[in-house]
Amino acid sequence: MFLLLELDLAGIVTFPCFLLQFSSKPVGIVGLGRIGSAIAKRAQAFGCSISYHSRTQKPLKHYKYYDNIVDLAKNCSILVVACSLTDETRHIVNREVIDALGPRGILINVGRGAHVDEPELVSALLEGRLAGAGLDVYEDEPEVPDPLLRLDNVLLLPHVGSDTVETCNSMADLVLANLEAHFNSRPLPTPVI
pLDDT digits (tens, 9 = 90+) for 87-115: 999 999 999 999 999 999 999 999 999 99
The catalytically annotated residue of 112, 115, 118, 120 is 112
Q: What angle do CA 95, 89, 91 make, to 5 degrees?
A: 30
pLDDT band (50, 70, 90) for residue 142: confident
Please state the domain extents for the chain: 6-159, 162-193
3-state secondary structure of 28: strand
> Domain 6-159 adopts which CATH fold?
Rossmann fold (3.40.50)
The catalytically annotated residue of 34, 96, 104, 141 is 141
Question: Is beta strand 154-156 parallel, antiparallel or unpaired with respect to 26-30?
Answer: unpaired
- CB-based contact 116:93 (threshold 8 Å): yes
pLDDT of residue 124: 97
Give CA separation, 190 vs 55, 127, 129, in Å: 20, 43, 40
Active site residue 159: yes
pLDDT at 81 over 80: yes
Q: What angle do CA 167, 172, 175 make, to 5 degrees?
A: 125
pLDDT of residue 60: 82
Active site residue 115: no
Of 74, 78, 138, the closest CA to residue 110 belongs to 138
| pTM to 2 decimal places | 0.78
Q: How many Å apart are CA 90 and CA 85, to the nearest integer?
A: 6
Active site residue 141: yes
